[in-house]
Amino acid sequence: MKIEVSTKTLDRQPGDVLTLPVAEGGRLPSWAGRWPSAARKLVEPLLKSKDFTGKLNELAAFPAPGGLPVSWVYLVGVGKERELTPDRLRQVIAVAARRAQAQRRKALVFPVVGVSAREIPAETAGQVLAEGAVLGTYRFTLYKTLKPEEQKRLEKVTLAVGRGISSAAVATGAKNGTLIADAVGFSRDLINLPANHKYPEDIAARVQKNARKNTGASKISCRIIKKAELTRLGLNAILAVGQGSVHPPVLVALEYKGPGAGSKPPLVFVGKGITFDSGGISIKPSGNMDQMKYDMSGGAAAAGAIQAIAGLKLPVHVVGIIPFSENLPSGSAQRPGDIIRTFSGKTVEVLNTDAEGRLVLADALSFARRSKPAAMIDLATLTGACVVALGKHACALLTNHDGFARQVKEAAARTHERVWELPLWPEYSEQVKSGPADLKNIGDDGAGTIIGAVFLKEFVGNIPWVHLDIAGTAWADKDQAYLSKGGTGFGVRLLTALAADWKPLPSTVKVS
Ligand code: BES
Ligand code: ZN
Ligand code: ZN
C-alpha cells in the first residue's frame, strides 16, 4: 500500500473516501475547524441526535455531500478527545481502511489529528497512522480462490496534514511505520501458514529468503543449522522435541550489524518456533488443536523484528536465534520420563512432552550465550496458564534484570504491545528440581507461567534476560481494529522499539 502525505485542504483531496475522525461528547472535535463546511453540516446534526456518538472505533459511511472531491465520507469515532493516544489513532485508521477495502475502495483520505489537539509528535502520528492502515488491511489469502473483484486491495492512503504540522515529520513517520507494519505482515504470514506448509526446514528457508532481500546497510546474515550439526553440537533438547516428526528440527541464526555497532555485544532475540504443537505423547485434547500452528509466533516475531530493524538501518547489533521443531507423537517421539542432556550440560527429565517450548528454548538460550549478548529477550507461546492470567491484552514479562526489563516495558508502552510482570522468586525454582535429573520440565503446584520462566532461567546464566510469554497475545480470535483473525505478529513492533531506543546496560547492575 502507498501512503502519501499531503498539505492540501480537505475540500481539495481527491479519493474514494474522506475519513472524518469524530470525538465523543456531542460536539464537533477541535480539529473540525479545518473541515469543509459540507462536512461540518453533515456531522453536527448526527452528533446532536446521537445517531453518531464518536465512541472509539464506531464507523458510519455516507455518500459524500456536494462540494467534496470524494464519493464517500466515513465518520469514525476516536473516543473522548482528551483521551486520544497514538494507539487509538492506529486503531481508528485501521477501522476506516479495513472498511474501505471491504467496500473495494481504492483511495482513502485521513486527516492527521491529535498533533495539535493532543500534542502527539508529528512523526509518531505519521508512524502509527501508517501502521494502522497497513495492519488494518492485512489479509492472508494464500489458499483462497478469489474472484478478481475480491482481490482488490486498498491502494492508497493520503494523510492530510493541516497548517502548523510538519509534513516532513509525518512523512518520515509514515515511511518507518509502513516498513514496520510490513515486517509485522511477514510475521503474520508465517504464523498463518498451515503446519503442512511450514515444516522446520521449509520455514527456515522462508526466513532465509526474506533475510536475503536485505542488502547493503540493511544486510541480514542467516545461518540454518540442520539436524546433523545440531547433533554434532549437542543441541539435544531441540532434537528430542523434534524426534517424533519425520521433518527434522533446525535452528536459524540471524544477525544484523547496524552502522557503527558491529563490534558491540549484541541484543539477542530468541523465539520459540514450534511449527505445530500436538503435545507429543502427552497429547493435547483435539478441540482447537489446529490453532497450535501458531506455536512458532515467538520465532516469527524475532524474524519480523530483525527485518524491521535492518530496514530502518538502526545503529544496533542484533542476533536472532530461532529453534524450529515439530512436536508430534509417533514411534520415535520422546516419552514422558525420558532424560535429555541439554546443550548447557544440565540434564532434564521430560515429565510432560507438551511442555516442549521450554526444552527448545533451553538449548536456544544457552546457544545464544555464545554470541556474548549484552542482553537476551525470548518470546514464546509458552503456557496456557498465561492466557488464563492475562487473556489477550498483555503478555507476561519475567526477568532476572530490572534495568533491562524497564527498557522492555518502555518499548511496550510506546507500541501498545503491553507486558505485565510476574515474579521470579527463588522459591518457585524448587518446583523444577528433579529426582533422577538436574531439572524436570513441569512443576506440581500451580503458577504455570512462572514455572515455565524459572525453568528457562536455569539456562541464561548471568546474562540480563527478559522472557515474554505471548501465548495469549500472539493470536486473535476475531478481526479487531488493526488485528485480524489469526496470527497478530505480536512482538515485532515491541522488539523494534526496544532496538530503536536501546541503551547498553550498566555492567554494575547485578542479575538476580
Ligand atoms: N504451546 C503450548 C502453550 C499454549 C497453550 C500456547 C495455549 C497457546 C495457547 C505449550 O507448549 C504447552 O502445551 N504448555 C503446557 C505446559 C504444561 C504441560 C506444563 C500448558 O500450558 O498446558
Ligand atoms: Zn506444548
Ligand atoms: Zn508449545
Q: What is the mean pLDDT of residues 46-56?
A: 97
Dist CA 60 CA 48 (whole Å): 15
Instruction: Specify the pLDDT at position 507.
Output: 72
Neighbours of ion ligand 3 (CB under 5 A): 274, 277, 295, 357
Q: What is the mean pLDDT of residues 323-331?
A: 98
- Bridge partner list, 341: 347
For ligand 1, pick from 272, 281, 325, 354 the residue to mutate: most ligand atoms within 8 Å of CB: 354
User: How many angstroms is it from 327 CA to the middle of ligand 3?
Assistant: 8
User: How many angstroms is it from 291 CA to the middle of ligand 1?
Assistant: 12
Q: What is the CATH number of the domain that holds 159?
A: 3.40.220.10
Q: Give the residues surrounding ligand 1 with Cβ less than 6 Å away.
A: 277, 295, 352, 354-357, 381-385, 387, 442, 448, 471
Q: For residues 243, 247, 253 and 256, what is the CA-based torsion angle, rounded to 10 degrees?
A: -150
pLDDT above 70 as % of the chain: 99
Instruction: Specify the pLDDT at position 279.
Output: 98
Number of domains into which the chain is organized: 2
Dist CA 509 CA 237 (whole Å): 31
Q: Let me know if residue 24 belongs to a domain.
A: yes
From the list 495, 47, 129, the residue with the least C-alpha distance to 312 is 495
Q: What is the mean pLDDT of residues 218-247?
A: 98
Q: Let me know if residue 187 belongs to a domain.
A: no
Q: Let me know if residue 509 belongs to a domain.
A: no
Q: What is the mean pLDDT of residues 65-86?
A: 96
Q: Let me know if residue 354 belongs to a domain.
A: yes
Instruction: Specify the pLDDT at position 363.
Output: 99
Q: What is the pLDDT of residues 459-500, one digit of tens each?
A: 999 999 999 999 999 999 999 999 999 999 999 999 999 999
From the list 492, 297, 253, 494, the residue with the least C-alpha distance to 387 is 297
From the list 424, 418, 419, 403, the residue with the least C-alpha distance to 502 is 403
* Local confidence band at 233 (pLDDT 50, 70, 90 cut-offs): very high
Q: Let me know if residue 423 belongs to a domain.
A: yes
Q: In this structure, are residues 197 and 231 in contact, taking their beta carbons and an 8 Å threshold?
A: no
Same domain, 250 and 202: yes
Q: What is the pLDDT of residues 425-442, one digit of tens each?
A: 999 999 999 999 999 999
Examine the pLDDT at 511 and tell me if it is beyond 70: no
Among all bound ligands, the one having the nearest atom to the CA of 448 is 1
Q: In this structure, are residues 9 and 34 in contact, taking their beta carbons and an 8 Å threshold?
A: yes
Residue 96 CA from chain centroid, whole number: 22
Examine the pLDDT at 510 and tell me if it is beyond 80: no
Helix, strand, coil abundance in the chain, percent, nearest 5: 40, 20, 40
Same domain, 209 and 267: yes
Same domain, 280 and 142: no
Q: What is the pLDDT of residues 89-128, one digit of tens each?
A: 999 999 999 999 999 999 999 999 999 888 999 999 999 9
Q: In this structure, are residues 340 and 347 in contact, taking their beta carbons and an 8 Å threshold?
A: yes
pLDDT above 90 as % of the chain: 97
Domain final residue pick, 124, 145, 180: 180
Examine the pLDDT at 509 and tell me if it is beyond 70: no
Q: What is the mean pLDDT of residues 56-79?
A: 96
Ligand 1 atom with least separation from CA of 357? 11
Instruction: Specify the pLDDT at position 508.
Output: 53
Examine the pLDDT at 402 and tell me if it is beyond 70: yes
Instruction: Specify the pLDDT at position 263.
Output: 94
Structural domain that includes position 36: 2-180
Instruction: Specify the pLDDT at position 268.
Output: 98
Among all bound ligands, the one having the nearest atom to the CA of 274 is 3
Domain final residue pick, 180, 204, 232: 180
Q: What is the mean pLDDT of residues 263-268?
A: 97
Dist CA 407 CA 413 (whole Å): 10
Instruction: Specify the pLDDT at position 224.
Output: 98
**pLDDT averaged over every residue in the chain:** 97
Q: What is the mean pLDDT of residues 353-362?
A: 99
Spatial CB neighbours of 450, under 8 Å, sequence gap ≥ 6 = 398, 422, 423, 424, 428
Examine the pLDDT at 196 and tell me if it is beyond 70: yes
Catalytic residues: 284, 358
Q: What is the pLDDT of residues 152-173, one digit of tens each?
A: 999 999 999 999 999 999 999 9
Domain final residue pick, 155, 180, 205: 180
User: How many angstroms is it from 484 CA to the middle of ligand 2?
Assistant: 24
Examine the pLDDT at 26 and tell me if it is beyond 60: yes
Same domain, 383 and 443: yes
Q: What is the pLDDT of residues 282-323, one digit of tens each?
A: 999 999 999 999 999 999 999 999 999 999 999 999 999 999
For ligand 1, pick from 326, 382, 386 the residue to mutate: most ligand atoms within 8 Å of CB: 382
Q: Which protein residue has the closest C-alpha to ligand 1 atom 7?
A: 384
Same domain, 355 and 415: yes
User: How many angstroms is it from 141 CA to the middle of ligand 2?
Assistant: 28
Examine the pLDDT at 197 and tell me if it is beyond 90: yes
